[in-house]
Structure 1
Amino acid sequence: MDAARIAYILLLVLLSLGFGLLHRWHVSTLFENDRHFSHLSEMEREMSFRTEMGMYYYYYKLMIEAPSWQEGLDRLRNDNLSQYPKVINADRTYNLFPEIYAGTLYRFAESLGLLGEPQCWQTERGDVLPPVLSCQGLSVPSYFYISIVWSLAMMTGSVLFLYATYLSGSIYGGLIAILAFFFNHTECTRVQWTPPLRESFAYPLLLFQMFRVTMFLDKYSFERKKFTWRNILWDNPYTDIFITTQLCLFTWQFSQFIFTIQIAILLILQWLKIIPRYVTLYLLFHHIIAIAFTFYHGPMVINSMYTCLVVGATYVNLMNAHVEGLWNPYLLLFSDVIGTIGSAKFMKSAMIDYDDYHHVYNLLRSKLSGFRDFHTMMYTCSPEFDFIHYETYEIIVKTFLLPTAILGGFFAVYYWYRNFKARGYPECIEPGTAYNGLQTGAFIVMAFLVMRLKLFMTPHLCIIAGMVFSRKYMAIVGIKREHLRLTAFITLAALMMYHGVQRVQEERQFYGEYSNIEQEQLFDWINANTPKNAVFAGKMSIMANLLLATERPIVNNPYYESTEMRDRTLKVYEIYSRKDAAAVYETLRKMQVDYLVLDEGNCYGLGIGKSGCRMVDLWDISDNGRAKRLGKRPLCPILYSGNAHPFRRVFANNHYVVLRLDYSTYVELKPKAPILMQS
């Protein structure tokens, strides 16, 4: 390797590390600015991890506070609090590999004395609330946890730059991608607001896996080898594809849907003769081994369409590999397609029917038709699961991301067209570029249907935008000299900066401070006035934080992907229906609930942006409006306002009411100062 090549590689490494560190600093400071995390008490920090984030953090806390690592793992795998009275393996149910890893790393670092001493200070909270002790440093559990998330965010910045540089064959392409990423940051990621979510851990690994698959396709697609098991087992250096695939499956249940799309794209490329059969088999083999390693951890994976497609495609490709070149190409293609689909369907029918996927199909059904039920409305009423908003299109157009990505795609297609005349089909097609084009198209469709999934679309648009500066693409439009390429780069960067810099400034100039006095009062009262085995029910997001702050058993939680949890939540959410109080009381007693937590927002539909999305509206849809036509009033406002029979009010403040399912004392707290809600 000559000196110039070594210098180029060194420059790439330094730039990728630099951009990774820049992204780490960016998201960590945005997080601090959003909630003033450094000046919160540990309880406030835990409360700031809303919805399922609080539940994930609970298991990390369990791992580090247990007397021993093994005892923490045993408690996690014999969890009797999050789905009371059921005892579950929380690791398998909730994809807790990140928390087990973080907890193990914390205990190991603590045992070696590597965490150092925390920096602590007293934070005043006004005349109404007592001061709290705020501590900062790696020895503080919450700081150690989010530091791992920021390190993975660093990986995102580094991989994105390398991905775009590789695909474009130019550092200019990597620079354009990273500029577009920062200028469209809120459209690319939400790690800065929600660090404990599964995507914060899995997406950097998914991005790296797709990067390595791209490299693999480009390297091996035109080496027409005869398939043997030796090729797969010994001649394949891309073992990191298997490792990252497995880690993604361990970390995030949604990873399997991304991999299903990846397998489908690989099969399409194979059927179009853009990649040879043995390349598909190599990658299918990686997925099969990753699935095998997740057998213990992921029942959803084992019974998924992803597994069926992988195994079915592998079987058909192995069978047809022996007759390739002997059969008519069209007959072979027909056999591949029909055989793969048939094998996948046969496997699916032979497996145990796993209902946890039905909500996904129903959600898609509701997007494409007029179908509605309680569970799909719970999703579609949330902004994250709505169709992608117009503001997203406006942003990616103003920052020149979308126009540049479209131009990059046009350059690639035109280059293939020019190549077709010289080299013919399929040699004119670049496999890695074709794979990423189809992958980006799939991500666009996903984001259009579910806004939350734009975290896949927008970063990939950044990568595709970088292809504009590929030397071979620019050469076909007459830009061959280096100074012309540099001029084009500066011009495009300036156009992107015109609105992009303003967006970064707006993002960084926002300052908030987390405070939720009423919820803190609620948890303090629960800790002081209820037994440790008291069972609670209520709004899903509150239950997750209640589990974390009080360690009381709960009957429902925010893990809505589970069929059982959807059924449990539906029963608990009868409090928001028009049913009789006695009927709801009996339902909760059968669930062994001791206390019911009501919140003002859900009871009265406060803060609901979309019409027809109050909880009582969802129930009216479920029963076709029969109870409403009979003139029955919504139950929750009646219980919340004071007429709680047959329940007993035992606690109330300005936002929460706690009802006991038998007699207890009654306490009412009214803060003297205005209540600060979360920014």
Structure 2
Amino acid sequence: MLLSGHIFSDSIFGGVLSVLCFAFNHSEATRVQWTPPLRESFAFPFIIAHIAILTFVIKYKKCGPTSILLLISAGVPALLFWQFTQFAFFTQICSIFVAFSLDLVPVTTAKTIIHSHILAFFISFVMLFGNEMMITALYFPSILGLATVIYISPWLSKLHFRPAYILTLAIIFGAITLGLKVGLSKGLGIEDDAHIFDILRSKFTSFANFHTRLYTCSAEFDFIQYATIEKLGTTCLLPFAVISMLAFGYEFLKNTNLFWRSNAGNEEVKNGEIVYNLVQLVCSTTMAVLIMRLKLFMTPHLCIVSALIAHPKLFGGDKISNPVRASIFVGILALLITRGMPNVHQQLNIKGEYSNPDQEMLFDWIQSNTKQDAVFAGTMPVMANVKLTTLRPIINHPHYEHVGIRERTLKVYSMFSKKPVAEVHKTMKEMGVNYFVFQLMNCSNDERRPECVYRGMWDEEDPKNSARTSLCDLWILAANSKDNSRIAPFKIVYNPNRNYIVLKV
């Protein structure tokens, strides 16, 4: 963050400002303090490093193998650790396209950047054992789209009327990206990322299915909360970022005419790194507004953009002496510290210890009473822990970006439906399940949002059985009465408490 702010603002004060902004808004920039094992917690430091390196490459117009290697060194780990990185990098490709189409990124530098993305993609694709989702997601088609734009731009630069030039590049980029995306998905029959577009569709229409409910009913995948905007405003991060953007936008529009005529390499281009980061911030903010969890992209980028306050060419530039500028900066730091320290104290006061005796008892029972090759099914979070702790084979796990996993999970979650017991038992048998781990809490009701509990999800997914008795009620009745006759051929083999029970298939 220090390096990003320093490069972006051309001032060490900007780097310090970015670091402080991040520290004072830490709770809105990451979830690592709550759930450290998240894939994003491992990937995001590399994403931030990649942004810093890219900003450096654009600012100083670097090109060649060294720059490519630096970008790959951050890009590959980011892609390996988190499946959503490729969507983040897609927005990066779009941001680079905007800066390039305005002639703010030289062709040689743009080629270096796109070559790094091509190599990072193929290295990651091989190391992820040919993950099909990487081919059909927007990232790969956008790489090819931007590469095409970069290599044909010298011929299109003959269009001296700038709006026509930009529009032509945009049409080429958009047509290749969307055309390849749709063509590859349909041609290869790959639907691994289809649920992401279903989630976005469900946010703006009445469309909903079981898979979208699993996401949109969670606060992390809802629209951004007003409380987040309020916090970012209270610490002055949001106002500083907006002021910085407006100040640069005014200076940029006042001093450039690249919107109206082609530069064609005849004059030195400047501020490409700033335009790239501002467009990237717009993309990150859009993602955060749609899916609150993705504010981890928006907040750090707000911190980077806020560094523009310390830029020596903005806010008066050379007209303001260094002592006056230093005094103003000290005042800004004092304001930041005053408004942000309560958040730091709040973060430091967070103390917790993970304790789940019921789950530990469950795992002990599994270790002692089941075979090593016994296959388990259940809700995704529990299955991840079963696999990690007991090393037993599992049917479904939280990697929901795989269409096969989504289909299997839907079948597994039919245990919460109103289907006939015999039908569900047959499904479990066909999948090779030996034991089903059931949490009674998963059968709870929610009068405020009935569609957001498993009972309601299944009424929506399977309306033809909505009038039948819920399997949830049968499992609970059998657990309370110690009578398995109502759930045969299932049998409860573990029932020590009111939390977990295990059904033998």
TM over 0.5: yes
Alignment pair present for 1:527 and 2:360: no
Match for residue 648 of structure 1 among 465, 472, 491: 491
Which residue of the partner structure matches residue 249 of structure 1? Answer: 79
Alignment pair present for 1:660 and 2:504: yes
Shift of 1:254: 1.2
Closer/same/farther in 2, CA of residues 530 and 238 from structure 1, 3 Å limit:
closer
Closer/same/farther in 2, CA of residues 415 and 429 from structure 1, 3 Å limit:
farther
CA distance in 2: counterparts of 1:335 and 1:532, whole angstroms? 61
CA distance in 2: counterparts of 1:320 and 1:509, whole angstroms? 55
Match for residue 411 of structure 1 among 244, 247, 256: 247
Match for residue 318 of structure 1 among 143, 148, 151: 151
Secondary structure at the aligned position of 2:330 is classed as helix
CA distance in 1: counterparts of 2:105 and 2:456, whole angstroms? 51
Secondary structure at the aligned position of 2:60 is classed as helix
CA distance in 2: counterparts of 1:303 and 1:521, whole angstroms? 43
Shift of 1:210: 1.1
Shift of 1:392: 0.5
Which residue identity lines up with residue 500 of structure 2 in the other structure?
A: Y
Shift of 1:513: 2.3
Which residue identity lines up with residue 241 of structure 1 in the other structure?
A: L
Shift of 1:493: 2.2
**4+ long deviations beyond 6 Å:** 421-428
Which residue identity lines up with residue 491 of structure 2 in the other structure?
A: R
Q: String of CA shifts for 1:426-464, please: whole Å, max 9, x gaps.
A: 768611111100000110010000011000100110111
Closer/same/farther in 2, CA of residues 525 and 609 from structure 1, 3 Å limit:
farther
Which residue identity lines up with residue 192 of structure 1 in the other structure?
A: Q
Shift of 1:185: 0.6
Which residue identity lines up with residue 430 of structure 1 in the other structure?
A: N
Which residue of the partner structure matches residue 430 of structure 2? Answer: 590
Shift of 1:546: 0.8
CA distance in 1: counterparts of 2:383 and 2:50, whole angstroms? 35
Shift of 1:418: 4.3
Which residue of the partner structure matches residue 233 of structure 2? Answer: 397
Shift of 1:637: 2.8
CA distance in 1: counterparts of 2:445 and 2:390, whole angstroms? 27
Closer/same/farther in 2, CA of residues 445 and 421 from structure 1, 3 Å limit:
closer
1:416/1:429 contact within 8 Å kept = no
Match for residue 620 of structure 1 among 459, 462, 467: 459
CA distance in 2: counterparts of 1:413 and 1:295, whole angstroms? 39
Q: How does 1:49-448 map to 2 (within 5 A)?
A: 160-220=1-61, 237-296=67-126, 297=128, 298-321=131-154, 323-326=155-158, 332-348=165-181, 349-350=183-184, 352-420=188-256, 430-448=271-289
Shift of 1:568: 0.7
1:188/1:458 contact within 8 Å kept = yes
CA distance in 2: counterparts of 1:496 and 1:611, whole angstroms? 43
Q: String of CA shifts for 1:370-428, please: whole Å, max 9, x gaps.
A: 21111001000111111111110111011111011111112212222443499998768
Q: String of CA shifts for 1:548-570, please: whole Å, max 9, x gaps.
A: 11111111111111111111111
Closer/same/farther in 2, CA of residues 423 and 519 from structure 1, 3 Å limit:
closer
Closer/same/farther in 2, CA of residues 648 and 277 from structure 1, 3 Å limit:
same
Shift of 1:252: 1.8
Shift of 1:162: 1.3
Q: How does 1:666-677 map to 2 (within 5 A)?
A: none
Q: String of CA shifts for 1:51-81, please: whole Å, max 9, x gaps.
A: xxxxxxxxxxxxxxxxxxxxxxxxxxxxxxx
1:168/1:470 contact within 8 Å kept = yes
Alignment pair present for 1:511 and 2:341: no
1:416/1:428 contact within 8 Å kept = no
Q: String of CA shifts for 1:629-661, please: whole Å, max 9, x gaps.
A: x3x222113213315421111111220111112
CA distance in 2: counterparts of 1:429 and 1:417, whole angstroms? 13
Closer/same/farther in 2, CA of residues 418 and 574 from structure 1, 3 Å limit:
same
Shift of 1:353: 2.9
2:362/2:500 contact within 8 Å kept = yes
Which residue identity lines up with residue 660 of structure 1 in the other structure?
A: K
CA distance in 2: counterparts of 1:569 and 1:334, whole angstroms? 44
CA distance in 1: counterparts of 2:254 and 2:198, whole angstroms? 44
Shift of 1:215: 1.6
Shift of 1:189: 1.0
CA distance in 1: counterparts of 2:477 and 2:259, whole angstroms? 77
Which residue identity lines up with residue 201 of structure 2 in the other structure?
A: R
1:409/1:437 contact within 8 Å kept = yes
Secondary structure at the aligned position of 1:649 is classed as strand
1:415/1:476 contact within 8 Å kept = no
458-467 vs 265-274, greater mean Cα deviation: 265-274
What is the TM-score with the length of structure 2 in the denominator? Answer: 0.89
CA distance in 1: counterparts of 2:67 and 2:149, whole angstroms? 25
Shift of 1:324: 4.3
Which residue of the partner structure matches residue 336 of structure 2? Answer: 496
Which residue identity lines up with residue 119 of structure 2 in the other structure?
A: I
Closer/same/farther in 2, CA of residues 490 and 327 from structure 1, 3 Å limit:
closer
Shift of 1:239: 2.5
CA distance in 1: counterparts of 2:270 and 2:252, whole angstroms? 6
Secondary structure at the aligned position of 1:596 is classed as strand
Closer/same/farther in 2, CA of residues 325 and 474 from structure 1, 3 Å limit:
closer
2:132/2:192 contact within 8 Å kept = no
CA distance in 2: counterparts of 1:500 and 1:611, whole angstroms? 39
343-352 vs 498-507, greater mean Cα deviation: 343-352
CA distance in 2: counterparts of 1:509 and 1:565, whole angstroms? 39
Alignment pair present for 1:539 and 2:372: no
Secondary structure at the aligned position of 2:90 is classed as helix
Which residue identity lines up with residue 445 of structure 1 in the other structure?
A: T
Secondary structure at the aligned position of 1:483 is classed as helix
Closer/same/farther in 2, CA of residues 364 and 639 from structure 1, 3 Å limit:
same
Which residue identity lines up with residue 216 of structure 1 in the other structure?
A: V
2:451/2:460 contact within 8 Å kept = no
Identity within the alignment, %: 35
Size of the aligned set, in residue pairs, is 485
Closer/same/farther in 2, CA of residues 388 and 609 from structure 1, 3 Å limit:
farther
Structure 2: tracts of 5 or more residues without a match: none
CA distance in 1: counterparts of 2:255 and 2:458, whole angstroms? 59
Secondary structure at the aligned position of 1:612 is classed as helix
1:317/1:336 contact within 8 Å kept = no
CA distance in 1: counterparts of 2:74 and 2:399, whole angstroms? 24
CA distance in 1: counterparts of 2:122 and 2:387, whole angstroms? 33
1:180/1:496 contact within 8 Å kept = yes
Closer/same/farther in 2, CA of residues 335 and 470 from structure 1, 3 Å limit:
closer
Structure 1: tracts of 5 or more residues without a match: 1-159, 222-231, 662-679
